[in-house]
Chains A and B, each alone.
Chain A
Amino acid sequence: MIATIVAAFMLLQVQDTTEVLGPATIYGESRRQELMHLTLGSVEVGRNYIENNFSGTLAQSLSTIPGVQARAIGSGQSKPAIRGLGFNRIAVAVDGIKHEGQQWGDDHGLEIDQFAVDRVEVIKGPGALMYGSDAIGGVLGIYTNYLPTEPFEGRVNLFGRSNNLSAGLSARLQGRSGPFYWKLHLTGSDYADYKVPTDEIEYYSYRIPLKNGTLRNTAGQERDASLILGFVGPRFRNDFKVSETWSKSGFFANAHGLEVRLSDIDYDASRRDIDLPWQSVNHLTVHNHSHFHGNGFTLDGDLAWQMNHRQERSEPVSHGYMPIPPDDKERDFLKHTLTGKLGGKIVLSEQNLLQTGVDAEFQHNRRDGWGFIIPDFETLSGGVYVTDRHTVSESLNFNGGVRYDHAYTSIHGYTDWFPTPDEAGTPVYKQRSGDIQRDFDSFTWSLGAAWSPGRWVLKANVGKSFRVPIPKELGADGVNYHIFRYEKGSPDLQPEKSYQLDAGINWMGEKLSFRVDPYLNWFPNYIYLNPGSSYYEGLQMYTYTQAQVLRTGFEAQVTYQLFRFLELEAKGEYLWARQMSGAKKGYTLPFCPPWKAVFSARYSFLEDGFVLFDVRVAGRQDQIVPPEKPTEGWYTLNLSAGKNYPLGPIVLKTGIQVENLLNRRYYDHTNYYRLIGVPEPGLNASLMLGVDF
């Protein structure tokens, strides 16, 4: 039956995944064209940017882009956010296919090998037109599909970080022979418990001593592999990709979930071992992409299967009426996602480029383990869209589009595996989640213009986006042991809607250039997990509700070429969010990032050498909601440098980054461990050595 459905929805695709861009040109014509390409605010970075800003995770490496935040969970996992919206409110798409893991979870990171990435496009605004539900806050478009040009070429990277004693090796081998090509990526890394500049953490009134400032049991491992086989003809291109990422990482032992516990496990015995509690994830992707271009049109088709298997294991303990569970399998999720897309571009006239397509997705999620948080479910969703790009002249164009989506969600009820006394004292197996079937319809649209008089590029866009409530929001009904609260879904939630007005002001001079990207965003029914004042089974009750939310903010960036060898840059972001109705009227949204700025000076020498010194500053965040705490402002000093050395037929690439030079103790408001008072890592040096051949 599934196969029939999938076959029926064989799909399509719209975005131009065949576009191969050269090295990013910061100034000049290509930069202007890149800006003119989309009327929404977007930033594109290439592989060099990721390598120069290399951090423990892809989200962290990208978090130096204004408007992009990384929500860290230890040193090896982090979740991306765009303008403060993360989880299911942004779409992460790998080669056009929405990456589907368990992105609702606070402590679940991305399952993507950052060394396999060729290019990242961040769309800072509603991207529903192209990606449907979830792209309500933006899109992180990740591309791994650059074509090899040589019969055989490759790169081997060796990297390490001092703070968590990590070491890793990544290899990229690829080649092309006539119309055929192949690409192979292999990455492996291991890291130890990371260090913070403090000897003690205080949570509520519990004091947790840290041996040598080490956050016990935050070590981890990652292994990734992917293979792409492709064919490029004059009119037809096909690539077939299989990729697998695997990671295992420990949770901070003394406050799994946010409950403080002691254990017989000797966590301090080794910095490298991974004891309970830990999580592991496998993510397998099989993806086929086909592209055809005829006279005045192109066609793209995609078919993908993703399998995401996550396990979270912890020491079995009784809680309330739940007896000691038989094993350590707290949570287990197995999710299959089938995606199909079919899209076409048609040149209607010299002035009009029409894009149209349909896409469909089927998800099948099963849970296991003694902790219940989300029910089993299936969802089937599909959308159809049409957009037009009307080019008046090289310096003026308009974009507009509409999209219609339908989604069906079927949730299976869940009943406890242990009895709880009811009001009369009779033991009963409580039902936690009922059978729920819901249909959702959404109509979205977008309209924008880009105009480039002289050195200016001015953009404006207005659009509507949506998000279908996820099964956790509809059907959760149980104890979230990770955060120690009772979470209750609301089966009647409506699709979340968002209206956003975006502007982009860019000026590119010979020496000076700047950009400002302001936005205004209105959610008539933002889905919010509201902390209530009542208790249920001994835990504070949190309920999913919908409230009006107004958000506004901007990103800004100024670059000045002081001398040929010295470039100064200032960039920053600011966000204001407020709930305008509901139980938390007047409050902000959870994890609202404070204002942030980075001031840097980059000294270039010889052809490709550089030394970059920067100061990162963040403001105090006192816009909070329970159970957050205000977070003090902070600054750090950081240094990075890189240089390439040609050695005969190979090129040796070196890069070093030193973060938090002063080993300052500070807290990041958006860090998962912020709630239990864990500061950010102290002084850290990263080294990367690469050989290109």
Chain B
Amino acid sequence: MKNSNWIPSLLLCALCACSSPSGDKDLVPPEIFPSGESTSPLNCQEFPRGGFLPFSYVFSDDVELGSFNLEVHNNFDHHTHSTEAGECRQDPVKQPVHPWIFNQDYAIPAGKTSYEANLRIPIPEDIDPGEYHFMIRVTDASGWQQLRSVSIRISGNEE
């Protein structure tokens, strides 16, 4: 009985001692920040079709950024909300006829830990107006990903 107690204790100590720190590997995903005054798109913002959607956000990572992707899909079915706080005005649910599909991958120059992306995305003339999601995805060089979803509205060409 005397020598029985130290064995479990020893076992536990041995187990604890084995959990090593994570070393110098990159374990942190990149981040997506508003770029300040010029940040676009903002949640619930409205853009006319046939015009341009300015994109301006800042990506940062503690080691090295990878690449980013911008994607637009419709939310006519109200399938989800954005990652932003607050809900936007909602239209009745409707069927897409010719929805805007935009999906583009972009490279970030090698070696960057911070990168401000400024783009002008043309909005086609003939698409369905209504609620859309603007998805921002960014990776770092190690394969971590961050995303942000912004609700936008595309307005029709009312006179």
**Once the chains are docked, how many angstroms separate the CA of A27 from the CA of B18?**
31
Q: B147 and A587: CB pair below 8 A?
A: no
Q: Which of A221-229, A356-364, A392-400, A527-535 is the contact stretch?
A: A527-535
Q: Give chain B residues whose Cβ lies under 8 Å from the Cβ of A531.
A: 143-145
Bound form: Cα–Cα A482–B12 in Å: 38
Answer whether residue A647 sits at the interface, using C-beta atoms and an 8 A cutoff.
no
Question: Any chain B CB within 8 A of the CB of A651?
Answer: no
Q: A538, B105: Cβ atoms under 8 Å? A: yes
Residues of A within 8 A of B4 (CB): 511-512, 558, 560, 562, 568
* Min CB–CB distance A504 → chain B (angstroms): 16
Q: Please, which residues of chain B bring their CB within 8 A of the CB of A512?
A: 3-4
Decide: B137 and A558 in contact? CB cutoff 8 A.
Answer: no
Interface-facing stretch out of A92-100, A255-263, A335-343: A255-263
Q: Is the CB of A538 within 8 A of B141?
A: no
* A556 part of interface (Cβ distance < 8 Å): yes
Contacting residues of chain A (493-535) with chain B, CB-CB under 8 angstroms: 511-512, 514, 530-535
A541 to B141, CA, bound (A): 12
B18:A595 contact, CB within 8 angstroms: yes
Residues of A within 8 A of B23 (CB): 586
For chain B residues 77-130, which have a beta carbon within 8 Å of chain A? 78-81, 83-84, 96, 101, 103, 105
Of B34-42, B63-71, B151-159, the one touching chain A: B63-71
A104 part of interface (Cβ distance < 8 Å): no
Interface residues of A in 588-607 (CB under 8 A from B): 594-595, 597, 599
Knowing A262-B78, A586-B25, the reply to whether A626 touches B144 (Cβ < 8 A) is yes
In A253-294, which residues have CB < 8 Å from any B CB? 260-263
Cα A570 to Cα B144 in complex, Å, equals 38
From A305-313, A431-439, A617-625, A658-666, give the one contacting chain B. Answer: A617-625
A215 to B35, CA, bound (A): 37
CB distance from B153 to the nearest CB of A (A): 18
Question: Do B144 and A263 touch (CB < 8 A)?
Answer: no
A-contact 0/1 string along B17-38, CB 8 Å cutoff: 0111111110101000000000
Contact (Cβ within 8 A) A535 B11:
no
The complex places the Cα of A570 from the Cα of B4 at a distance, in Å, of: 11
Residues B105 and A533 in contact, CB atoms below 8 Å apart:
no
State the CA gap A321–B71 with chains docked (Å).
11
In the complex, which of the residues B7, B71, B143 contacts A540, with contact meaning CB atoms closer than 8 Å? B143
Q: Measured between alpha carbons, how far is A531 from B145 in the docked complex, in Å? A: 9
A475 to B144, CA, bound (A): 24
Q: Which residue of A lies closest to B9 (CB)?
A: A570
Complex alpha-carbon distance, A554 and B141, angstroms: 34
Cβ–Cβ < 8 Å partners of B11 in chain A: 556, 558, 570, 572, 597
CB distance from A452 to the nearest CB of B (A): 21
Partner of A535, one of B12, B21, B101, B137: B137
- Enumerate chain B residues within 8 angstroms of A558, measured Cβ to Cβ: 4, 7-8, 11
Question: Could you tell me the distance between the alpha carbons of A570 and B16 in the complex, rounded to whole angstroms?
Answer: 15
* B67 cross-chain contacts in A, Cβ below 8 A: 533-535
Interface presence of A481 (CB below 8 A): no
A320→B73 CA distance, assembly (Å): 7
B22 CB contacts on chain A under 8 angstroms: 622-624
Interfacial chain B residues near A539, Cβ < 8 Å: 69
Are A627 and B101 touching (Cβ within 8 A)? no
Q: In whole angstroms, what is the CA distance A626 to B21 when docked?
A: 17
- Given known contacts A204-B147, A262-B79, A570-B8, is B27 in contact with A630 (CB within 8 Å)? yes
What residues on B are CB-neighbors of A511 within 8 Å? 4
Query: Could you tell me how many residues of chain B have their Cβ less than 8 Å away from some Cβ of chain A?
Result: 49
Q: A556-B11, A595-B15 are in contact. Are A534 and B80 (CB under 8 A)?
A: no
Q: Mark A199-228, 1 if CB is under 8 A from B, else 0.
A: 000001110000000000000000000000
Across the interface, do A533 and B79 meet the contact criterion of CB distance under 8 Å? Answer: no
Instruction: Report if B60 contacts A (CB, 8 A).
Output: no
Looking at A263, A318, A624, the one whose CB has the most chain B CB atoms below 10 A away is A318
A534 contacts B101, CB within 8 Å?
A: no
Cα(A576)–Cα(B101), bound, Å: 45
Interface residues of B in 133-150 (CB under 8 A from A): 135, 137, 139-149
Residue of A nearest to B4 (CB): A560
User: What is the bound-complex CA distance between A586 and B25, given in angstroms?
Assistant: 7
- Let me know if A533 and B139 touch, CB within 8 A: yes
* A465–chain B nearest beta-carbon distance, Å: 25
A204 contacts B83, C-beta separation under 8 Å: yes
Q: Does A317 contact B (CB under 8 A)?
A: yes
Give which listed residue, A206, A562, A623, contacts B81 with CB less than 8 A.
A206
Check if A537 is an interface residue, CB within 8 A of chain B. Answer: yes
Task: Give the complex CA separation of A538 and B138 in angstroms.
Answer: 10
Across-interface contacts of B21 in A (CB, < 8 A): 622
Cβ of A535 and Cβ of B68 under 8 Å apart? Answer: yes
Evaluate contact between B105 and A594: CB separation under 8 angstroms: no
Q: Which residues of B contact A620 (CB under 8 A)?
A: 19
Bound-complex Cα distance A204 to B105 (A)? 21
Q: How far is the CA of A627 from the CA of B12 in the complex (A)?
A: 30
Per-position 1/0 for B30-65, Cβ under 8 A of A? 000000000000000000000000000000000000
> Which of B1, B14, B143 is A532 in contact with, Cβ under 8 Å?
B143
In the bound complex, residues from chain B placing their C-beta under 8 Å from that of A645 are none
- Residue in A closest to B69 when the chains form the complex, CB atoms: A535
- A35 to B140 CA separation, bound complex (whole angstroms): 49
Whether B19 contacts A624 by the Cβ 8 Å rule is no
- The residue on A at minimum CB distance from B143 is A531
In chain B, what residue has the closest Cβ to A558? B7
CB-CB under 8 A from B27, the residues of chain A are 622, 624, 630
Q: Which residue of B lies closest to A321 (CB)?
A: B101
Instruction: Report yes or no: A627 in contact with B105, Cβ–Cβ below 8 A.
Output: no
A336-379 with Cβ < 8 A to chain B: none
Q: Given known contacts A536-B105, A568-B4, A626-B144, is B81 in contact with A262 (CB within 8 Å)?
A: yes
| Alpha-carbon separation in the docked complex, A539 to B103 (Å) | 10
Tell me the nearest residue of chain A to B96, going by C-beta: A318
Let me know if A574 is at the binding interface, CB within 8 A: yes
In the complex, are the beta carbons of B79 and A594 less than 8 A apart? no
A619 to B16, Cβ gap below 8 A? yes
Q: Complex: how many Å from CA A205 to CA B82? A: 9
Which residues from 527 to 583 on chain A have a C-beta closer than 8 Å to any C-beta of chain B?
530-540, 556, 558, 560, 562, 568, 570, 572, 574, 576, 583
Contacts of A570 in B (CB 8 A): 7-8, 11-12
B interface residues with partner A (beta carbon < 8 Å): 1, 3-4, 7-8, 11-12, 14-16, 18-25, 27, 29, 66-69, 71, 73, 78-81, 83-84, 96, 101, 103, 105, 135, 137, 139-149
A/B interface sample: 28 pairs, CB < 8 A:
A205-B84, A206-B81, A262-B79, A262-B81, A319-B73, A511-B4, A512-B3, A531-B144, A531-B145, A532-B143, A534-B105, A537-B103, A538-B69, A539-B69, A558-B8, A558-B11, A574-B18, A595-B15, A595-B16, A597-B11, A599-B8, A619-B16, A622-B19, A622-B22, A623-B20, A626-B142, A626-B144, A627-B145
> Which 5 A-B pairs give the minimum distances between C-beta atoms?
A533-B66, A531-B143, A205-B83, A570-B8, A535-B105
Given contacts A558-B4, A597-B11, A619-B16, 19 further A-B contacts (CB under 8 A): A263-B79, A320-B103, A514-B7, A530-B143, A532-B139, A532-B143, A533-B66, A534-B66, A540-B145, A562-B4, A572-B11, A572-B12, A595-B18, A597-B12, A619-B19, A622-B22, A626-B142, A626-B145, A627-B143
